[in-house]
Structure 1
Amino acid sequence: MAVRTGTRSAGAVAQATALGVVIEIPSPLDASLIDWRRRYGGEQAAAVAPHVTLVSGSTTDWDCAAAHVRDVASRTSVFTVCLRGTGTFRPISPVVFLNVTEGAEECGNLHDALVAGPLLHELTHGYHPHLTIAHEVEEAAMDRAQEELRGASMDFVVQKIGLFGMDSTGAWSRREELGLDGPTL
């Protein structure tokens, strides 16, 4: 998983490292979301902490990418996210999620700033901020999640973002927690 840095011999190729930048859901709201993810998405879904993904990709220069994420965080103001009701990407992708109804513009601006420079990558679909509840499970479970959580509602203030990397076992772990230090709105 280590990113090769320094001088390389001719023909050497830098190893790509998976990188993700997310908004982690604060406690105690995360407990309800973990329960919902377990109920509708199974134990595997519950094992991943609830989050709103800002960018997910890979880099061959972790230090440069991390510096870019730190810079973006330092220029971003604290904002509020409201999760309201459910949505789905079906039939394109088997996902049921909670909608980001307030803070979506700020999430989009963060995404755009993050994918500029060293994190530039192609998206197969446009960026749509959301919090996944069920993914790649039976249709009945996704239907239940979409119906039973359609009245779900929670708000929280986003004061920081998490920079995650994937280890050699395929597990994501937070490498840095970055406070949003931009001017107060």
Structure 2
Amino acid sequence: MGTVTLGVSIAVPEPHGSRLQELRAGFGDAAAHGIPTHVTLLPPTEVAAERLPEIAAHLAGIAATSEPFAMRLEGTGTFRPLSPVVFVKLVEGASGCDRLQELVRDETGPVPRELQFPYHPHVTVAHGISEEGMDRAFEELSGYEADWICRSFALYEQGADGVWRKLCDYEFGSGRTVSAVPAQCGSPVESPAATPAV
């Protein structure tokens, strides 16, 4: 069956998701419209396609034992010079994200994954673009604020075209697969895709 590249993340809801995605594109990040605005729980990970049902069941189990929590974005940060990234800071909800990502990557689960850097939840708004573009992102979003209650996370698959498409959402408290996060306007990342069996 080959392999697929998966990622797990918390989507930034509307209207914030589309707004940040458009700003990211405006800063010169050509990949912006292929990436939903998100907080990463599992970075891009290549797995055997036949393991999708097992991974889906794993994620459903995590969601079933999780509870909604508050998330708040405020201001900007950067990983430069270590990594060419500018991000909006997560100032509330980091502990909830950290718990989830540890469970997703658990060494006894189907997607054990070592991280290149220590986990630091954030929302990327510029990656691998010119220094001028990253400076602009850092400055223009320095006063940015948004907050919401996180009630689910999502499983995504990266297509051959580089675009990340959502396979399904996992609702906290039940583990049910739902469509709780609206599509980001003008984005292909919410195109219909086959939902993995659980």
Shared fold, TM over 0.5: yes
Gap change, CA 1:41 and 1:127, over 3 Å in 2 = farther
TM-score by length of 2: 0.80
Gap change, CA 1:74 and 1:130, over 3 Å in 2 = same
Query: In the aligned structure 2, how far is the partner of 1:31 from the partner of 1:45?
Result: 10
Query: In the aligned structure 2, how far is the partner of 1:80 from the partner of 1:51?
Result: 15
Does residue 78 of structure 2 align to residue 88 of structure 1?
yes
Bigger shift: residues 34-43 or 101-110:
34-43
2:17 alignment partner, one of 24, 30, 43: 30
2:132 alignment partner, one of 126, 140, 151: 140
Gap change, CA 1:169 and 1:46, over 3 Å in 2 = closer
Name the SS for the 2:114 alignment partner: coil
Q: Deviations over 1:69-120 (max 9, x none)?
A: 1111111111111011101111111000001110001000000000011110
TM-score by length of 1: 0.85
Does residue 64 of structure 2 align to residue 74 of structure 1?
yes
* Letter of the structure 2 residue corresponding to residue 136 of structure 1: G
Give the number of aligned pairs: 169
Aligned-residue CA RMSD in angstroms?
1.5
Bigger shift: residues 133-142 or 47-56:
47-56
Does residue 50 of structure 2 align to residue 50 of structure 1?
no
Runs of 4+, deviation exceeding 4 Å:
none
Query: In the aligned structure 1, how far is the partner of 2:134 from the partner of 2:160?
Result: 31
Query: In the aligned structure 2, how far is the partner of 1:148 from the partner of 1:18?
Result: 33
2:154 alignment partner, one of 162, 177, 180: 162
Query: In the aligned structure 2, how far is the partner of 1:169 from the partner of 1:48?
Result: 12
Query: In the aligned structure 2, how far is the partner of 1:164 from the partner of 1:69?
Result: 12
Q: Which residue of 2 aligns with 1:130?
A: 122
Bigger shift: residues 163-172 or 123-132:
163-172
Q: Which residue of 2 aligns with 1:59?
A: 47
Bigger shift: residues 16-25 or 85-94:
16-25
Following superposition, the deviation at residue 168 of structure 1 comes to: 3.7
* Letter of the structure 1 residue corresponding to residue 18 of structure 2: A
Name the SS for the 2:27 alignment partner: helix
Following superposition, the deviation at residue 43 of structure 1 comes to: 4.1
Following superposition, the deviation at residue 156 of structure 1 comes to: 1.1
Unaligned runs of 5+ in 2: 175-198
Contact 1:21–1:53 (CA<8 Å) still a contact in 2?
Answer: yes
Contact 2:7–2:157 (CA<8 Å) still a contact in 1?
Answer: yes
Contact 2:72–2:92 (CA<8 Å) still a contact in 1?
Answer: yes
Identity %: 36
